[in-house]
Structure formats: C-alpha cells, structure tokens
C-alpha cells in the first residue's frame, strides 16, 4: 500500500517522535493526520518540528505565525497553531496556504547564531539553526524561525530531511516530489475537468472556437489525428474550407517540422490571425502544391496577407533565459551569498538584466499585430523558425489585447490551451524541471506572464482575472506536477495517458514506476492539468482570482468584415489580389523570395497574372496607417468610440513596471512593502455594503417584503444597488441569500482593484490595520 519504505534515506538520528511518525503514515483513505496535518492519500510525514514560527510577508499581514512544521515526501507543510480543524469531508488541497512543494524549493539556507549556511543533501550541520530559509524557484522566500523550546533534534532532523528530500541528487533523476505525486495518481486522476473553458483538445472544441470568433471559411481538420503529419502539432487544427485534407497532406513538407499555417483567431473586423513555422526551402514546388500553399496562407481572404517575422526583433530563448537568471539574482537578495546589488545601482542593474526590454519588444510586436488586424480583409501570419516560442507569446498577447473573452479567467485559460499547451510550446524542455537540459531552458512562458501583467497593470479594470491569478499561474509553472507543463507537445501528453500499445521510453527523463508486467498495465492515470486550481488553492484564494468587470457588450463579429466602414482598412484591402507583405522591424516590404514558391522559376498557372504586377504600392501606406493608431495620443479609454480598439500598452521606459508582487516577494529586507490583505479588516465601503445587506435581510425577515421591493427605487439617481428586484416574498432563506451575494460582487468591483491606479495596487488597507 505504501511505498514510503522503498525510498530509503537515512535519518541520522531517530528522534523521540518516531512513534508519532509511524502513526502519521496514513492510509490511502485516511486524510486527517493525528498531528493536525491533513495528509494526502499516500503521503507520509517524514519529520516535524514544533514551536516553529513562520515569517509572514506583507501580503499575509506581516509578523509571525506560530505552529508546527512538517516535512513529507511531497511538501514542507506548516500548520498554524490555531488553524481550524480540517474538515475531513473537504476536498484535500495539495498545498495549503502555508505549504511549499518540495519540488519548488531551490535552496535551503539555515541561519545560526552568527552564521548562515547553505544546506546540501550531504552537508552536516555543526550548529543548531535558529532560522530556516527556503528559497523557491518561483521567487518566493519562506522563512521559519525555530523557538528555543523547539527540541534541537527536531530542528536538525527537519533541516536535514528537507535538504535530502527536496531535490534529485543527480540531474535527471526523479525527485521525491514526483514519486509522491505518482503515488497520488489515483487521487489525481479522478478529478473533474473544468467545463467552463475550451480545452481545444477535441474537434468539437475547435468548432466551438471557430463559431465563437465567427470565423467562416475555416474548418477543423483531423488530418493530424495520429500525429503523422506533424509530431508537434495538435490533432485538430483549423484550416481553410477550400483546402481538402488530401491536398493539405502535401503541404506539411513545406514547413519546418510540418508546422503549416494554422488559424488562431479572427478579429471581429474579419482579419484572421495565423501562425506557422519557417518555410522548407529545399523542396520542389509542384504546381498543385503552390495553389494549395497560396490558399492556406491567404485563408478566406484572397487579397492580402502580411507575414510578420518574429525572429529578428524578439529575444531568443537563450536571451530570455539569461535575462531571467539575472533578474532572479537581482531580486532574490540571497542571504547565503551576501552578494547583493547596492541600492544605488538598482535601477541600472535592473536595466542591465534586459528583462524589461524583452517584455517591451514582445508587447510592441503584439500591439503592431493587433493594429494590423483591425484592417479587416487580410490574413496576418506570424512566422517563427520553429513556431513554438515567440509565436505563442505574440499570438496570445494579440488576443488578450483584442478579445475581451481572453481577459476573463476561463477565456485566458482557453487561450493558453489553444496557443501554448496544444500548440506545442515545449514546456517540458523550457522549464527544465529536472535540471538535465540546461541548454533548452528558457522561461518564455514567464516572460509572457510578465507581458500580460504589464497590460493588466495599465488596464486593471478591463480584466476579469486578477494579478493574483497571474501569480498563481507563475508559481504553478514551477511545479513539475501538471500535465499542462510536463510535456512538449500534445502527442507526448497523449502518449503518457493512453496505452499506445508499445513500450514507451520516456524522452526526457520522466520515468514511470517500473511494473513487471508492462503489457497488461492499464494506462497511466493522467496528471492533473494546471487549471484544476482547487488542488492548490483554497476557495478563498481562488475567489481572489477574478474580479467583476463592467459589462461592455462584446462587439459582434462582422461577417467577412463587409460592414467595415473605415477608410484605412478599405484602402489596405484594395491591394492587388495575392499581395504578400513582409512586416519586420516596423516596416512593410515585399521581398521577392518571401514566399519561396513564388520566387521559383517556371511558375505557371492561375496565380501568374497577379504576380507579374508588382504589389500595389498604395497598400503599404494603408497598412502603415493602421499602425499609426499606436502612436496616436488618444483620450484614455473611450471604449464607446471604437469597440474594436485593442488595449494597447504604453511602452515608454517609465511605463513598464517591475512586477513587484512576484519578483520582490523574496526580498526579505523589503517585506514591509505593503498592501496587506486581511479578511478581518474591512474597508468602510465594504462595511457599509454589508450593513445595507444586513439591514435589508432583516427587513425581509420582518415579513414585509413589499417594502423590500422599493429598495432599488429608493437608491435614487439611477444607481441600482441590487442587480434585480429582490424576491417579492422569499420562499426560502436561500432565495433571500441570493440577492446579497450578487450585490457583494458588485461592490467588490466598486472599490476593488477596478479603481486601481495605473501601476499600483490600491488595496483598501494599510499594513497597520493588521498590526492592530
């Protein structure tokens, strides 16, 4: 039943609490530990220490929290003294609010009376630590303080246990964390999938997306159903209706890794966003192929295609890796190395990381593409050599800017499924969870999250998700537990979960526990997707992931952009049929060899006529005018004037901020930075709202509901406090309960983050409110 005994690591000294420890080994069904730690199925408490205090960050209200520290094979858990008794019936949460997954720990440092020491699995301690500092990969720093009353043995034991358990001894080996996770497979596999989002996994999912965007002229092709055409592309993709599957099959060879132009999104004005890998140049272009290549590239717009080259202006994966490494080193303020950047060099050192430069260039590129798409009647094709890094960033940023749906939590999750997870971003290699592939490591996804945060901080009220959600996503990306991140392509994900009928040798170090009768083994239960938030976050924390947004009627998609009245756009689309422009470094050009098949000699056929004419020079200024929206200083946010206006970020130096809530969490010296959130202390507005609700409830309870119906009218000046008329005669208390709930949301919007200043958070409390 338990495999805890299999992994033998020596505990140097058996503490007096060995009995308790044995007791704590709970069975698959027992959830609550006798010591107060609700264990997960199969989880084993390895060590614990009592009378430990956890240092709270400003966000948690600052100060210290006393409790018990546990180390299991899966996490370092901290149970506060006065924590409410865990409810045995509640769904278990993998990580409590105060827990750290062993897998996210990067470094263990102890602080003694007058020294600090980095603890490695092999190191021995010559002093009793007073403080235990866990540096995490997600830039958190968690600090525990041992009390003098904590038994020395416990202190030493837990330090050693954590140091030995948290990381693989050699690169590539399976960490204890994953062993533990595997033990929980049963538990993890029976999770329900979130039905509110589009997973983009089935053909129906893609149909739904085409329909949502009003993308006529496109169909879902299952030509890659068995990943035979391209190993990195998903099973289903959206291609022009005009192209048959048999024709399509010949196209794959013309693109790097078979990543042909695929539809991503349609702008309400009718332009389509495509993405593709670079062309295979050393291939013979048959006449029929050329026709199909042209068709697939132009989609349902015969006239104009703009190829946006992503390679030369955006950072390469090694650039991003280097920048992120520098940023980490700068922000973490590591006490074990004592090399910190002096304060007066902070700004230039931050600049020197180039991280902000890179976010700027990604956002700039995405804004340009977003502006181009406003033109209507064209396809904009993002082209990157491999189509698996920057095109994920840019295509999803464009959609976040243009599509309000992508700024809701579920919409954003669907977007990430579409443009990252199924599109084959190499999460596994880029994350390098096992430290065995340093060459490929590059936090492209984290760069993207930073870009989204920049947009969020400039338009806080236009997003339904909050920066807490972005932070949760940021932290989850560091946990090697989610199927979303533990594979490089959809194919790998599928092979893991399905019995493909052949012996599967993992490519990148993921070892399945060896089973003697491999053939008869049922398929591995799938790992959970990252979107299963209740695995990690309590209901309370999840409630902070979203905020109400004012309802702006979504612009209706225009069919083929025919209703488009804007002159710029019409000008742009007046181009000669079949014009292709390259957009690179902010300028449009039409190099002869842009489409390799066109440059080839001896082209004949239907397209020849249009090729002979040089592309109309008029269309270039038309396109450029589309871009000029970016530089035009307009009145801030006037959504009524142009519902299709994308959220364009300000990109000047002073406008890009550092995501402090994320990168500065670890800077212990700066923990006083304050926007504490505390559930106990309410803002007066909230108190007022609660008061109104309470009084209203009391009035209805008094049994004269007719008065309640007047409430909206009473409010005067047209502001309705309750979203609907309260029930005339509440039949059940539940009905009466409903109205206040809706109301609460409304209020949260009113004085919540929606009213934020541009880059700052105006939370409703100062730190001092918590001190009292």
Partner 1 sequence: MEKTGSVDSLGSKQSSSRHPSVDSLSSSERSTQVKPPSMMSDSATSSEFSPEIRVKPKTTAKNFRDSDKEELQLLPNEVVQDTAQDVTYFCPFTGALCGIVTVSNYRLFFKCTGREPSFVLDLPLGVVSRVEKIGGASSRGDVSYGLVCKDMRNLRFAHKQMDDTLKKSIFEVLMKFAFPVSNGLQIFAFEYGQVFPENGWKVYDAISEYKRQGIPNESWRITKVNDHYELCDTYPSTMAVPVNIPDEELKRVAAFRAKGRIPVLSWIHPESQATVTRCSQPMVGVNGKRSKEDEKYLQAIMDANAQSHKLFIFDARPSVNAAANKMKGGGYESEDAYQNAELVFLDIHNIHVMRESLRKLKDIVYPNIEDSHWLSNLESTHWLEHIKLILAGALRIADKVESGKTSVVVHCSDGWDRTAQLTSLAMLMLDGYYRTIRGFQVLLEKEWLSFGHRFQLRVGHGDKNHTDADRSPVFIQFVDCVWQLTRQFPAAFEFNEYFLVTILDHLYSCLFGTFLCNSEQQRLKEEIPKRTVSLWSYINSQLEEFTNPLYVNFSNHVLFPVVSLRHLELWVGYYIRWNPRMRPQEPVHQRHKELLAKRAELQKRVDELQREVTNRSASSSSERAGSPTRSITPVQTFV
Residues 665-694 that bind partner 1 (CB under 8 A): 667, 669-670, 672-675, 683-685, 687-689, 691-692, 694
Q: Residue 505 contacts by C-beta under 8 Å, 6 or more apart in sequence?
A: none
Task: Tell which positions 70-89 bind partner 1, by CB under 8 A.
Answer: none
* CA–CA separation, 392 and 101 (whole Å): 28
d(CA 324, CA 309): 24
Asked if 763 touches partner 1 (CB under 8 A), the answer is yes
- How many residues are present in the chain? 772
Shortest reach from residue 707's CB to partner 1, in Å: 8
Q: Which of 318, 523, 577, 760 binds partner 1 (CB under 8 A)?
A: 760
DSSP 377-411: S-EEEEE-SSSSSHHHHHHHHHHHHH-GGGGSHHH
Tell me how far CA of residue 127 lies from CA of 50, 76, 109, 153, in angstroms.
Answer: 19, 22, 13, 11
CB 626 within 8 A of CB 371: yes
Supply the minimum distance, in Å, between the C-beta of residue 351 and partner 1: 4
Using CB under 8 A as the binding rule, the residues of this chain from 341 to 360 that contact partner 1 are: 343-348, 350-352, 356-357, 360
Q: How far is CA 660 from each of CA 450, 707, 771, rounded to the nearest angstrom?
A: 11, 49, 22
Stretch that binds partner 1, among 302-310, 508-516, 604-612, 762-770 (CB under 8 A): 762-770
Contacts of 199 (CB under 8 A, 6+ apart): 193, 205, 414, 417
CA dihedral 529, 532, 537, 540 (to 10 degrees): 160
Q: Of 500, 606, 650, 735, which lies in the binding site for partner 1, with binding defined by CB under 8 A?
A: 650
Residues 589-608 that bind partner 1 (CB under 8 A): none
Pick out residues in 144-173 that bind partner 1 (CB under 8 A): none
In sequence order, what are the beta bridge partners of 49? 69
40-69 residues in contact with partner 1 (CB under 8 A) are: none
Region from 161-169, 253-261, 650-658, 732-740 binding partner 1, contact rule CB under 8 A: 650-658
To the nearest whole angstrom, how small is the minimum distance from the Cβ of residue 686 to partner 1?
10
Query: Cβ closer to partner 1: 66 or 712?
Result: 712
Shortest Å, Cβ 57 to partner 1: 13
Residues 207 and 225 sit within 8 Å (Cβ to Cβ): no
Q: 15 in helix, strand or coil?
A: coil
Q: Which is nearer to partner 1, 516 or 636 (CB)?
A: 636
Smallest distance, Å, CB 269 to partner 1? 21
Binding mask 630-649 for partner 1 (x = CB under 8 A): -x-xxxxxx--------x-x
Stretch that binds partner 1, among 180-188, 209-217, 567-575, 754-762 (CB under 8 A): 754-762
Q: Which of residues 720-739 bind partner 1 (CB under 8 A)?
A: 721
As a whole number of angstroms, the distance between CA 577 and CA 560 comes to: 16
| Closest approach of partner 1 to the CB of residue 695, in Å | 4
- Indicate the DSSP class of residue 720: -
Nearer to partner 1 (CB atom), residue 72 or residue 353: 353
Give, as ranges, the residues between 449 and 508 that touch partner 1 (CB under 8 A).
458-462
Applying CB under 8 A, among 501, 716, 732, 734 the residue interacting with partner 1 is 716
Distance CA 677, CA 25 (A): 36
Minimal distance, residue 73 CB to partner 1, in Å: 37
The minimum distance between CB 370 and partner 1, in angstroms, equals: 14
The helix (H) or strand (E) run that includes residue 308 is strand 304-309
CA nearest to 482, candidates 493, 471, 466, 495? 493
| Among 18, 22, 735, 771, contact with partner 1 (rule: CB under 8 A) | 771
Question: Measured from the CB of residue 665, what is the shortest distance to partner 1 in angstroms?
Answer: 12
Half-sphere exposure of 431 (CA within 13 A, CB side): 28
Which helix (H) or strand (E) is 716 found in, with range? Answer: none
Give the residue with the Cβ less far from partner 1, 161 or 457.
457
Compute the least distance from the CB of residue 457 to partner 1, in Å.
9
Interface characters, 283-322, with partner 1 (x: CB under 8 A): ----------------------------------------
**Residue 95's Cα: distance from chain center in Å?**
18
Four-point Cα dihedral 599, 602, 605, 610, nearest 10: 40
Cβ distance to partner 1 smaller for residue 147 or 624: 624
> For residues 691-710, which are near partner 1 according to CB under 8 A?
691-692, 694-696, 698-699, 701-702, 704, 707
Dihedral angle at the C-alpha atoms of 442, 447, 448, 451, nearest 10 degrees? -170
Dihedral angle, C-alpha 269, 450, 631, 560, nearest 10 °? -10
Stretch that binds partner 1, among 294-302, 385-393, 499-507, 660-668 (CB under 8 A): 660-668
């Amino acid at each position: 039943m338990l495999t805890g005994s299999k992994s033998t690591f020596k505990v140097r000294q058996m503490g007096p609490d060995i009995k308790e420890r044995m007791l704590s080994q709970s069975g698959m069904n027992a959830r609550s530990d006798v010591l107060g730690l609700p264990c997960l199925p199969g989880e084993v408490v390895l060590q614990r220490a009592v009378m430990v205090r956890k240092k709270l960050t400003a966000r948690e209200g600052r100060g210290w929290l006393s409790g018990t520290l546990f180390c299991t094979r899966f996490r370092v858990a901290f149970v506060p003294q006065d924590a409410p008794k865990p409810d045995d019936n509640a769904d278990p949460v993998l990580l409590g609010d105060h827990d750290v997954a062993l897998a996210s720990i990067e470094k263990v440092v102890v602080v003694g009376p007058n020294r600090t020491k980095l603890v490695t699995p092999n190191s021995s301690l010559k002093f009793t630590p007073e403080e235990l500092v866990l540096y995490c990969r997600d830039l958190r720093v968690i600090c525990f303080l041992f009390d003098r009353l904590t038994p020395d043995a416990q202190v030493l034991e837990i330090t050693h246990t954590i140091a030995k358990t948290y990381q693989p001894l050699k690169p590539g080996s399976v960490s204890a964390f994953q062993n533990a996770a595997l033990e929980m497979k049963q538990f993890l596999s029976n999770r329900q999938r979130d039905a509110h989002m589009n997973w983009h996994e089935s053909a129906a999912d893609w149909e739904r997306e085409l329909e949502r965007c009003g993308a006529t002229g496109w169909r879902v092709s299952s030509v890659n159903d068995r990943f035979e055409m391209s190993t990195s592309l998903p099973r289903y993709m959206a291609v022009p209706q005009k192209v048959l599957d048999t024709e399509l099959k010949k196209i794959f060879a013309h693109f790097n890794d078979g990543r042909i132009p695929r539809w991503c999104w349609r702008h309400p004005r009718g332009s389509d966003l495509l993405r593709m890998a670079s062309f295979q140049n050393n291939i013979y272009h048959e006449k029929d192929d050329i026709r199909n290549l042209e068709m697939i590239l132009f989609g349902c717009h015969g006239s104009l295609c703009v190829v946006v080259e992503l390679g030369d202006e955006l950072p390469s994966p090694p650039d991003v890796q280097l920048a992120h490494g520098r940023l980490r080193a700068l922000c973490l303020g590591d006490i074990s190395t004592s090399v910190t950047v002096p304060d007066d060099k902070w700004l230039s050192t931050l600049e020197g990381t180039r991280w902000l430069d890179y976010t700027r260039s990604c956002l700039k590129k995405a804004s340009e593409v977003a502006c181009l798409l406003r033109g209507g009647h064209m396809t904009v094709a993002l082209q990157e050599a491999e189509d698996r890094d920057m095109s994920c960033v840019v295509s999803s940023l464009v959609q976040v800017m243009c599509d309000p749906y992508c700024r809701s939590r579920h919409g954003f999750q669907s977007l990430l499924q579409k443009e990252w997870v199924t599109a084959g971003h190499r999460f596994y290699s880029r994350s390098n969870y096992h430290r065995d592939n340093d060459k490929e490591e590059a936090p492209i996804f984290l760069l993207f999250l930073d870009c989204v945060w920049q947009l969020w901080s400039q338009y806080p009220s236009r997003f339904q998700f909050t920066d807490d959600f972005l932070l949760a996503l940021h932290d989850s990306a560091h946990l090697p537990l989610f199927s979303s991140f533990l594979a490089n392509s959809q194919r790998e994900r599928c092979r893991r979960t399905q019995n493909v009928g052949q012996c599967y040798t993992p490519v990148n170090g993921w070892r399945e526990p060896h089973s003697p009768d491999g053939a008869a083994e049922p398929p591995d239960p799938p790992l959970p997707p990252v979107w299963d938030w209740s695995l990690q976050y309590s209901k309370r924390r999840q409630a902070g992931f979203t905020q109400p947004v004012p309802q702006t009627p979504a612009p209706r998609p225009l069919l083929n952009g025919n209703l488009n009245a804007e002159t710029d756009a019409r000008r742009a689309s007046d181009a000669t049929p079949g014009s292709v422009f390259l957009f690179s470094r902010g300028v449009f050009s039409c190099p002869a060899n842009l489409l390799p098949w066109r440059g080839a000699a001896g082209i004949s056929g239907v397209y020849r006529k249009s090729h002979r004419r040089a592309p109309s020079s008029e269309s270039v200024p038309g396109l450029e005018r589309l871009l000029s929206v970016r530089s035009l200083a307009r009145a801030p946010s006037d959504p009524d004037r142009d519902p299709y206006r994308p959220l364009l970020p300000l990109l000047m130096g002073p406008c890009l901020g550092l995501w402090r809530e994320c990168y500065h969490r670890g800077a212990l010296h700066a923990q006083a930075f304050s926007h504490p959130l505390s559930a106990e202390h309410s803002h007066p507005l909230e108190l007022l709202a609660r008061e109104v609700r309470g009084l209203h409830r009391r009035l209805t309870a008094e049994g004269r509901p007719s008065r309640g119906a007047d409430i909206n009218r009473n409010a005067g000046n047209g502001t309705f406090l309750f979203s609907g008329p309260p029930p005339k005669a509440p039949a059940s208390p539940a009905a009466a309960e409903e109205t206040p709930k809706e109301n609460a949301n409304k209020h949260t919007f009113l004085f919540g983050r929606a009213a934020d200043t541009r880059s700052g958070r105006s939370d409703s409390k100062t730190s001092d409110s918590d001190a009292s």
